[in-house]
């Protein structure tokens, strides 16, 4: 498994976990709203209460540096693979 595949699996696992946490965030956010609390001090939305960037769509942008690093690593990997396979 290449590092890229491992990172994809890690991102997928993190997204799955954050979507599970999103359910609990919603329940906790509405459970927090009660007549005994000061509404001025409470967070105004769920994102302010608990930040889940993969669920809210804040962390879905891949930077150019990441793409360049992956491209360079794959180029090196393919060159090394050709050397070990005898140029095939």
| pLDDT on residue 60 | 56
Which residue is listed with tokens 């690593």?
A: 73
Write the pLDDT tens digit of every residue in 62-76. 667 777 888 888 888
Contact yes or no for 45/25 (Cβ under 8 A):
no
* Helix/strand number for the chain, H first, E second: 4, 0
**What pTM was computed for the model?**
0.52
Question: Within the chain, which residues score under 50 in pLDDT?
Answer: none
Contact yes or no for 50/25 (Cβ under 8 A):
yes
| pLDDT on residue 32 | 80
Which residue is listed with tokens 């960037």?
A: 53
| pLDDT on residue 87 | 57
| pLDDT on residue 20 | 92
Q: How far, in whole angstroms, is CA 15 from its chain's centroid?
A: 6
């Amino acid at each position: 498994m290449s590092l890229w595949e491992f990172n994809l699996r890690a991102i997928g696992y993190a997204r799955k976990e954050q979507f599970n946490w999103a359910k609990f965030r919603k329940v906790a956010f509405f459970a927090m709203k009660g007549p005994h609390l000061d509404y001025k001090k409470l967070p105004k939305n769920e994102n302010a209460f608990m930040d889940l960037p993969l669920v809210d769509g804040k962390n879905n942008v891949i930077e150019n540096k990441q793409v360049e690093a992956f491209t360079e690593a794959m180029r090196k990997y393919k060159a090394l693979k050709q050397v070990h396979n005898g140029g095939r």
